[in-house]
């Protein structure tokens, strides 16, 4: 399988190159040049356990030997706390697909445990190093850190918006003090972090010299790993109910998770509707309901991992929705970059593409849903999952059971649970074990240059970078001799979380 860019500006590359590239070199996102139709394999696949299903599905998209892929998949999912990896439980009249049985209790582990192993495999093969730069609104950071901590040939730099991720999420990230892990508390929003990331990845000299890589949801391997649980969840629910089609409700931020659902549908999985659920940060809901994709302010909500305005994976959807035309994508993304808005020609009726419908689950709906599920079913939803459930329940259909993606364990958000139920109910041993571990992070200004300097100082200078710019090097050295690059204030912090 070859991979192309949504903006049409690169020669097709293989899977391993696509994974290492992260963002395409022309600023677009990478996509497989075709999506295989597996309709005739559904019956056979329905009998497989999670790792075998993952193996069969992924092998259609990768360029690794079968035996290596099989090993990678086995290793990646062996550490999950459920033998099913992503079990489905029926709660009232919906089916909850629990995606949080990985090491950090968030659905992002499903993709990032795999990606960490995949990176290690490719780097060993190529005898290369990798410096991962990531922006996180919460769960990506810890899941990425747990995916690569202590690994050879990999360093990770994770930017989080200072004070805007939950205390537990912050603690989960900053309590990992392996030498190859760098936590950056950026004085800005998550969108600022994403913008810095885009700027640094667009600096091709820097990217090449410093072997930059990405684990954000723009990485195709993450999308691919997420396609698997749509199949797994649909198979379980179709078995149990006898239904021939299912719906999925997806709490959405960066459009990575739900995009994986659109790929599953394109591959032939019988998905009747994908329900896109946002919190008050509703750019995507507005887009799918009104055709208005325009930037607003970022609001802090109970579901911080969805406090996002620019959804980085949306470009992939646009590419397909606009007839696979890189020209059109280029023009639209340019317009969006300059004006902060797009009027999209596709808000026509119940569903704009026959698949996606959207709605907003605001704070009140989130709390109400958590309370109701607790009182009526003795089941605790985390606030992100509750957004999905609350919107999903507006789109119920008799013949198509509703599968609601549960994206985090409630113990990651105990304050919201207490606010909803009046009681301190959300606990998990993994979170409790964090309480006494010291943390480490550096506070940095929300500027690409500052982050670049920080990375250079931690990675050490590369010979190529020294050659043509002796003056820059002198400056770097003087900064280094002071211990920290300019604009970077070290922060030691060993407070417990909540
Ligand atoms: C990241 C995240 C989401 C949003 O997923 P996207 O792929 O960004 O749409 C939802 N819930 C939780 C708990 C998350 O960590």
Which helix (DSSP H) or strand (DSSP E) does residue 18 occupy? Answer: helix 15-21
Listed residue (98, 153, 97, 150) closest to 129, CA to CA: 153
- Catalytic position from the list 67, 70, 108, 461: 108
The residues with which 283 forms a beta bridge, in sequence order, are none
pLDDT digits over 20-38, tens only?
888 888 989 999 999 999 9
Ligand 1 centre from 409 Cα, in Å?
12
The residue range of the domain holding 166 is: 108-220+434-493
Q: Which helix (H) or strand (E) holds 357?
A: strand 356-360
Q: Residue 294: helix, strand or coil by DSSP?
A: strand
- Asked, for residue 251, whether it belongs to a domain, the answer is yes
Residues 333 and 397: their CA atoms lie apart, in Å, by: 36
The dihedral sign for the CA sequence 167, 97, 84, 124:
negative
Q: Give the up-direction half-sphere exposure of residue 219: CA atoms within 13 A in the CB hemisphere.
A: 29
Highest mean pLDDT, choosing among 4-13, 163-172, 335-344: 4-13
* Domain tally, the chain: 2
Instruction: Give, rounded to a whole angstrom, the gap between the first and last alpha carbons of the chain.
Output: 47
pTM listed for this prediction: 0.88
Which ligand 1 atom is at minimum distance from the Cα of 252?
A: 9
Ligand 1 first shell, C-beta below 6 A: 106, 108, 138-139, 217, 251-257, 305-306, 384, 407-408
Given a cut of 60, whether residue 239 has pLDDT beyond it is: yes
Alpha carbons within 13 angstroms on the beta-carbon side of residue 3 total 27
Rounded distance between C-alpha atoms, residue 180 and residue 155, angstroms = 5
The helix, strand and coil proportions of the chain, stated in percent and rounded to the nearest 5, come to 45, 15, 35
How large is the greatest C-alpha to C-alpha distance in the chain, in angstroms?
Answer: 70
Q: Is residue 47 situated within a structural domain? A: no
pLDDT of residue 350: 64
Asked whether residue 244 falls in the same domain as residue 308, the answer is: yes
pLDDT tens-digit profile of 163-208? 988 888 899 999 999 999 999 999 999 889 989 998 998 898 999 9
How far, in Å, from the CA of 472 to the mean position of ligand 1? Answer: 39
Q: Record the tokens describing residue 32, joined without a space.
A: 């497989």
Residues 281 and 353 in one domain: yes
Same domain, 162 and 300: no
108 catalytic residue (yes or no):
yes
Is the separation of the CB atoms in 26 and 5 below 8 Å?
Answer: yes
Q: If DSSP codes are grouped into helix, strand and coil, which group holds residue 96?
A: strand
Domain shared by 337 and 269, yes or no:
yes
The answer on 198 and 114 residing in a single domain is: yes
- In tens, the pLDDT along 435-452 reads 889 999 999 999 999 999
Q: What is the pLDDT of residues 242-268, one digit of tens each?
A: 999 999 999 999 899 999 999 999 999
- In three-state secondary structure terms, 292 is strand
Q: What is the CATH number of the domain that holds 402?
A: 3.40.50.1100
């Amino acid at each position: 399988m070859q991979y192309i860019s949504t903006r049409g500006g690169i020669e097709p590359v293989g899977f391993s190159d696509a994974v290492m590239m992260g963002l395409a070199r022309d600023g677009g996102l990478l996509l497989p040049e075709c999506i295989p139709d597996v309709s005739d394999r559904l019956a056979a696949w329905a009998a497989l356990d999670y790792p075998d299903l993952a193996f069969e599905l992924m092998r259609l998209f990768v360029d690794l030997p079968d035996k290596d892929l099989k090993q990678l998949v086995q290793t990646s999912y062996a550490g999950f706390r459920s033998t099913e990896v992503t079990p489905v439980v029926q709660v009232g009249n919906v089916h909850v697909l629990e995606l949080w049985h990985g090491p950090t209790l968030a659905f992002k582990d499903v993709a990032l445990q795999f990606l960490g192993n995949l990176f290690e495999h490719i780097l060993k093969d190529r005898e290369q190093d990798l410096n991962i730069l990531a922006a996180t609104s919460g769960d990506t950071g810890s899941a990425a850190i747990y995916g690569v901590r202590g690994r050879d040939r990999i360093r990770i730099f994770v930017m989080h918006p200072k004070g805007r991720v939950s205390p537990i999420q912050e603690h989960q990230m900053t309590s990992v003090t392996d030498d190859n892990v760098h936590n950056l508390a950026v004085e800005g929003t998550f969108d600022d972090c994403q913008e810095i990331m885009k700027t640094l990845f667009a600096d091709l000299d820097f990217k090449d010299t410093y072997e930059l890589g990405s684990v954000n949801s723009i990485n195709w391997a993450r999308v691919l790993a997420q396609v698997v649980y749509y199949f797994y969840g649909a198979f379980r629910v179709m078995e149990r109910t006898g239904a021939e089609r299912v719906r999925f409700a997806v709490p959405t931020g960066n459009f990575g998770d739900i995009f994986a659902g659109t790929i599953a549908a394109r591959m032939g999985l019988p998905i009747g509707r994908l329900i896109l659920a946002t919190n008050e940060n509703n750019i995507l809901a507005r887009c799918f309901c009104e055709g208005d994709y325009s930037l607003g302010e970022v609001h802090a909500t109970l579901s911080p991992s969805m406090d996002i305005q620019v959804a980085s994976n949306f470009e992939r959807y646009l590419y397909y929705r606009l007839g696979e035309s890189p020209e059109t994508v280029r023009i639209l993304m340019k317009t969006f970059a300059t004006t902060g808005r797009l009027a999209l020609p596709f808000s026509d009726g119940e569903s704009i593409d026959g698949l996606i419908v959207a709605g907003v689950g605001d704070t009140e709906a989130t709390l109400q849903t958590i309370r109701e599920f607790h009182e009526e079913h003795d089941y605790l939803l985390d606030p992100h999952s509750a957004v999905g459930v609350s919107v999903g329940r507006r789109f119920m259909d008799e013949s198509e059971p509703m599968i609601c993606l549960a994206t985090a364990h409630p113990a990651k958000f105990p304050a919201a649970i207490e606010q909803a139920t009046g009681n301190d109910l959300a606990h998990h041993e993994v979170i409790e074990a964090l309480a006494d571990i010291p943390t480490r992070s550096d506070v940095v200004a929300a500027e690409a240059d500052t982050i670049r300097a920080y990375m250079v100082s931690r990675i050490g200078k590369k010979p190529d970078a020294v050659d043509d710019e002796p003056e820059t090097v002198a400056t770097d050295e003087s900064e280094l001799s002071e211990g920290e690059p300019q604009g970077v204030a070290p922060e030691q912090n060993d407070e417990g979380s909540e």
